[in-house]
Amino acid sequence: MSEPLDLQGRHIVLGMSGGVACFKSAELARELQRQGATVQVVMTEAATQFITALTMQALTNRNVYVSQWDTREPNAMAHINLTREADAVLVAPASADFMAKLATGRADELLSLLCLARPIERCPLLLAPAMNREMWAHPATQRNLAQLRADGCTILGPAAGDQACGEIGDGRMLEALELCAEMIAFFQPKPLAGRRVLITAGPTFEAIDPVRGITNLSSGKMGFAIARAAQEAGAAVTLVAGPVHLDTPRHVRRIDVQSAQQMHDAVLPLAAQHDVFVATAAVADWRPAECGAQKIKKDGSGRVPTIPMTENPDILAAVARLPARPYCVGFAAESHDLARHAREKRLRKNVPLIVGNLGPATFGRDDNALLLVDERGERELPRAGKLALARALVAEIATRL
Ligand code: CTP
């Protein structure tokens, strides 16, 4: 199955100003291309002190531009030509000096000239700051930053952490993979801008004793993909996750829980503050009535223990009963008769939208196929990667709000 890459058909001007973080831009150039983009590198003289134009040319298979006096363009106007086909200009690293220059509209070398001369309505400018923490915190830099935001620039990062100078604090440039994820998100449509979305994901773990428990094969991948897709679509996202080993999508607030009861207790107080609730978690229906403080031991008689069970709260149904309930989306993981079970579940849980999928055919996998069931009928989202499906589902949800 081949799906279009996330930056397929995008042409990105990668601007580099002077900073140690230039070494990350080599990887960034590769990563952007791996995601389908074409990358045109433009460097300041200062950037060439940190990494050579030759390296960037070899990595992008394109001439690198450093000077506004470059005569390789037939009209000798690299500062105009280079942005006319571009979908965005990303300056990474953006030094404190370069940001100061942009904030005042100066244009005394090719990169700043090109930023000023770009068609501002259709060629957005994104900056990935990289500098020492004192430089970042300096009122002059913060003033420039505010001005650049007011002028429509998007600022990516910076991160906090170890700095090349040995100090620790804000100002590190984001890593190549993080910047690439930011670019992918930037280009996604924003139908959930201003909305708040709450999501449950993963399995739950119901303890039998301190070392054993009951769980299931849910990987959490679908829920995490929906969290990422909703965030990319502009929403503020809270993700309540059972025990899974997955990275938190960027800018998503994550709350880790173990049991169904903990998931319920985390979700219920938050639900009314959200516009949408998507329940993807494979919540255990039952839990051992009691969790002993000590491990259950064999007694040598060959008798197996009987473990009394009790029912867990139904989180989705509880949220759907709230007076100020969010728009509720349930999942139906079935092993057979998907459409019928999904229709029944929608009515039983009293939610407007149920997303059916075949549990055994999706648990742990990177792809899935979904059946959307609402009051108007059914709609299939055919087998695809979970992120692609999550984006399609998010778009469907947005039209129903
Ligand atoms: N769900 C929930 N809390 C539970 C059980 C299920 O929030 N205690 C949610 C799931 O996250 C999913 C939907 O309800 O969105 C349906 O889950 P599923 O396991 O398919 O159905 P059940 O309600 O458990 O019904 P059954 O076991 O009979 O299929």
DSSP-derived secondary structure for 154-166? EE--PEEEE-TTS
The residue type found at 151 is D
Q: Is 158 in the pocket of ligand 1 (CB under 6 A)?
A: no
Quote the pLDDT of residue 271. Answer: 98
pLDDT in tens, 249-303: 999 999 999 999 999 999 999 999 999 999 999 999 999 999 888 999 988 999 9
Closest CA to 192 of 327, 38, 23: 327
Nearest-CA residue for atom 16 of ligand 1: 332
Q: Is 314 in the pocket of ligand 1 (CB under 6 A)?
A: yes
Quote the pLDDT of residue 365. Answer: 83
- Measured in Å, residue 352 CA sits from the centre of ligand 1 at 15
**pLDDT at residue 117 is higher than 80:** yes
Closest CA to 156 of 140, 179, 175, 138: 179
- Tell which atom from ligand 1 comes closest to the C-alpha of 331: 15
Q: Is 178 in the pocket of ligand 1 (CB under 6 A)?
A: no
**pLDDT at residue 137 is higher than 90:** yes
Quote the pLDDT of residue 359. Answer: 76
Nearest-CA residue for atom 12 of ligand 1: 331
DSSP 240-292: EE-S---PPPTT-EEEE--SHHHHHHHHHHHHTT-SEEEE--B--SEEES---
Region 200-219 average pLDDT: 95
- Measured in Å, residue 245 CA sits from the centre of ligand 1 at 22
Region 75-84 average pLDDT: 93
- At a CB cut-off of 8 Å and minimum separation 6, what does 99 contact? 127, 129, 141, 144, 145, 148
Nearest-CA residue for atom 4 of ligand 1: 314
- Tell which atom from ligand 1 comes closest to the C-alpha of 312: 8
Quote the pLDDT of residue 1. Answer: 55
pLDDT in tens, 151-178: 999 999 999 999 888 999 999 999 999 9
Closest CA to 129 of 98, 105, 88, 169: 98
DSSP 47: G
- Tell which atom from ligand 1 comes closest to the C-alpha of 313: 8
DSSP 65: B
**pLDDT at residue 91 is higher than 90:** yes
Q: Do domains 11-187 and 196-400 have the same CATH topology?
A: yes
What count of other Cβ atoms lies within 10 Å of the Cβ of residue 241?
A: 24
Each as own residue / partner, the long-range contacts of residues 395-400 (CB below 8 Å, 24 or more positions apart, any chain) are 395/189, 395/191, 395/233, 396/353, 396/372, 397/192, 397/276, 397/278, 397/327, 397/329, 397/353, 398/191, 398/192, 398/195, 398/233, 399/191, 400/327, 400/352, 400/353, 400/374
Using CA atoms in the order 55, 60, 63, 69, what is the torsion angle rounded to 10 degrees?
A: -80
Q: Is 66 in the pocket of ligand 1 (CB under 6 A)?
A: no
Q: Is 223 in the pocket of ligand 1 (CB under 6 A)?
A: no
- Measured in Å, residue 280 CA sits from the centre of ligand 1 at 9
Q: Is 263 in the pocket of ligand 1 (CB under 6 A)?
A: no
Return the CATH fold of 11-187. Rossmann fold (3.40.50)
What count of other Cβ atoms lies within 10 Å of the Cβ of residue 306?
A: 6
- Tell which atom from ligand 1 comes closest to the C-alpha of 260: 8
As a whole number, the mean pLDDT across the chain is 96
% of residues, the chain, pLDDT over 90: 92
Quote the pLDDT of residue 266. Answer: 98
23 band by pLDDT with thresholds 50, 70 and 90: very high
Q: Is 355 in the pocket of ligand 1 (CB under 6 A)?
A: no
Edge-to-edge order in the sheet of strand 327-334: 253-256, 236-241, 196-201, 276-279, 327-334, 353-358, 367-374, 377-385
Q: Where are the domains of the chain?
A: 11-187, 196-400
Nearest-CA residue for atom 17 of ligand 1: 332
Region 97-113 average pLDDT: 97
Edge-to-edge order in the sheet of strand 88-94: 38-43, 11-16, 88-94, 125-129, 154-155
- So which residues are the catalytic ones? 165
Q: Is 281 in the pocket of ligand 1 (CB under 6 A)?
A: yes
Q: Which CATH class is domain 196-400?
A: alpha beta
Q: Which of 314, 334, 351 to mutate to test the pocket of ligand 1 (most atoms within 8 A of CB)?
A: 314
